[in-house]
Structure 1
Amino acid sequence: MNLFNYTRHILSLDAEELEILVRKWVSVQSNKYVSVYRHAGAGDRGCDVIGFYSNKKFEGDWDNYQCKQYNKAIPTDTGMHEIGKILYYSFIGEFSTPRNYYFVAPKGINRNLKSWILNPSKLKEKIISQWEKYCEFTIIDGDRIELTKDLENFISKYDFSTIGIIGIDEIIDDSKFKAILVELYGGDLPSAPSAEVPANIIETEFNYVSKILDTYSDHDKKTYSKPDEIIGHDDFEEDFTEQRERFYSAEVFRAFYRDNTVNSVLDNFENEILKGIKPTLRLDFPSSFIRMCNVLSEAGKLQPSGKLAIHGKIDVKQGYCHQFANEDKLNWRKKK
């Protein structure tokens, strides 16, 4: 059970610290953004943390994370001002309109503003009809930004359903956010899901599977070129099933923590496994099958350091041996 009170930590952050936290979170979404930028200081044009979908940056698609850490829920006038600002600067060509606009507000959003955000057509109507109240004299200090017909048409075409809210619950529940909170404040990472082994061998398995079959051939002094050829074998049929289970335990583990850890947490875990098995891999054995069995046994005994150690069960550590074989980082049969 994770006893760390992340809510307390997040609510105690100041405005800049919240932006830094959000930038870390946006940065780990590598499958979504090609680059991330945090606009520190004044003159941000309504942009706090930006996730760019392409190298076109502001000339292409991008998301804006507007971070607000107040001692209370974000007031209506503040939220409407921020929306008006991003739309105005988009209108005058400072950047394209964001694909998505998120208020990151750990202490929430005023009920009135939340109601409008959750009803996009109402939000559009309100920002146009009340532009003078919320935006006309606030976007640029000492200057007036009148709602011209062209600006109103521009705002009318904007998709207000792309404006969302990220509150404390979303922060705590998001697995990528959780990885950063664990890194910063301690606690345990979530466990990886259980592995399911496909009934049929798929293309991405061919390399390590062929190497396993080669160990059987070496041990029996008989050629096994296909898995079907070991059906009925006293040792190899069951062993082969177990080896695929190990491979997929590591496969699921790897995929889950690649998406849900930060920095080099997963790389460090994998490097320790590889280094830990290499001394046994270098020893001489009567056959490559016996070498494989000894290496797997050694892998199961390893005790890696770091946050993933508690989650790296025996089958995962042994399964990494087949992951390495699949990537040609090791071979069971020694070169002559």
Structure 2
Amino acid sequence: MPVTVVSPLMAPPPVLTPKQILVHHSADDWEEFVYEWVEALREARYVDVVGMGGSNDRGADIAAFLTAKKTDGPWHCFQCKHYDKALVPSAAYPEMLKILVAVAEQEYRVLPERYVFVAPKIGGSLKQLLAKPAELKAAFFESVAKPGNKLTTDYDEATLHRALQLAHKTDFSCFEAANLDRILEQHATTPYHVRRFGTPLPNRPAVPAPPSEHSTGEARYIQKLLDVYGERWGCATHYPDEARAHPKAGRHLQRQREAFYCADALRVFARDSVPVGTYESLQDDVHTGVVEVEERDFTTGYDRLNAVLDAARDMQLGANVLLSCMKSNDRKGICHQLANENRLTWFQEEEL
């Protein structure tokens, strides 16, 4: 009996790890990745993070400031290096000299407290030197002093002299290399990680129940619901308590508030898990899918409301990364968010 075998060509492509993906990054993509990582450290450590890379970066690709004085006060420098091979001392020395020259020439007021090489691979010889600052300093000066070396050719004698004077006074323990595993661990806590590496979203937290009292942030969409209940069941349109006490309006209002808070929980989850604008893009997709339904003629606002909610429930959404963790109530809740922002309404002006 013949046996069907899946050939290698039919097998699914292997899933690359974040480390493997980073190997294929361009220099610009690598710098962007490092910026995302340093930005993740901002809340705990820095008042600001600025990308300064380019052809005239003056020795700093990314600057992280510990005070409002920026580079006039304590700061950290992150130097991004993305090579096919591991970063070695001969590639590090020119960058070290560049930052020393920049400070000696007063491009920056002070040296960074930490100067961090960030590369996919750090060579063993550089790791060993970075672990022994005195040896690193000696090796740096030895390299500078070699006859005919290319390390110093970009600088005139006076500039080089000032930079080396500063180097003699400098504690070379400020130079270090970042650990890629640690970087990825911290990057995974950022909203950028899912987009960059295509990893699954973290588990979404449980949705909290709505507070018993309406908040000011709910006022607009609840007022629009009260108008519907006034038309449908004769409830007072400016007294939520009357609607809540009504046997049908009360249950309906509770369900809509649960949906609103469900969608708001998704908004907060998105803020912490995916890039800025992802949730707003989802809202826009829902709005695009229901707005023409909302603009149709309906006998009552209640009919329009239900038609819009049904359209949101049944519509096909695009490829937004949040779709994988959406709950059924989120779509309805987004409609109420849109009503809260006056992008949807249940009574058209000509019907009022």
Please confirm whether the aligned pair reaches a TM-score higher than 0.5, indicating the same fold. Answer: yes
Equivalent residue for 1:324?
Answer: 338
Matches within 5 A, 1:106-255: 106-108=120-122, 110=124, 113=127, 132-133=141-142, 140-141=152-153, 144-145=160-161, 155=170, 160=174, 165=178, 167-168=180-181, 170-171=183-184, 173-182=188-197, 190=202, 192-199=204-211, 200-255=213-268
Are the counterparts in 2 of residues 178 and 189 from structure 1 also a CA contact under 8 Å? Answer: no
Are the counterparts in 1 of residues 75 and 112 from structure 2 also a CA contact under 8 Å? Answer: yes
Distance 1:262 1:132, change over 3 A: same
Structure label with greater radius of gyration: 2
1:153-206 Cα deviation digits (max 9, x unpaired): 6x46x9949x67251553363443424425xxx565556544324524333222
TM-score (norm 2): 0.68
SS at structure 2 position matched to 1:103:
strand
Aligned-partner Cα distance in 2 for 1:327–1:115: 58
Residue identity opposite 2:17 in structure 1: N
Aligned-partner Cα distance in 2 for 1:297–1:99: 58
SS at structure 1 position matched to 2:183:
helix
Shift of 1:221: 1.6
Residue identity opposite 1:132 in structure 2: F
Shift of 1:299: 0.7
Equivalent residue for 1:5?
Answer: 17
Are the counterparts in 2 of residues 103 and 166 from structure 1 also a CA contact under 8 Å? Answer: no
1:288-316 Cα deviation digits (max 9, x unpaired): 23422321121111111123343444322
SS at structure 1 position matched to 2:324:
coil
Structure 1: gaps (5+ residues): none
Are the counterparts in 2 of residues 34 and 54 from structure 1 also a CA contact under 8 Å? Answer: no
Are the counterparts in 1 of residues 101 and 163 from structure 2 also a CA contact under 8 Å? Answer: no
Residue identity opposite 1:209 in structure 2: I
Q: RMSD value over aligned CA atoms?
A: 4.5
Identical residues among aligned pairs (%): 24
SS at structure 2 position matched to 1:176:
coil
Aligned-partner Cα distance in 2 for 1:266–1:69: 32
TM-score (norm 1): 0.71
Q: Does 1:18 align with 2:26?
A: no
SS at structure 2 position matched to 1:325:
helix
SS at structure 2 position matched to 1:13:
coil
SS at structure 2 position matched to 1:66:
strand
Residue identity opposite 2:141 in structure 1: E
1:266-297 Cα deviation digits (max 9, x unpaired): 44432221011112212344432342232112
How many residues matched? 322
Q: For structure 1, which segment, 255-264 or 218-227, has the greater mean C-alpha deviation from structure 2 after superposition?
A: 255-264
1:131-153 Cα deviation digits (max 9, x unpaired): 62477778643764567776666
Distance 1:12 1:276, change over 3 A: closer
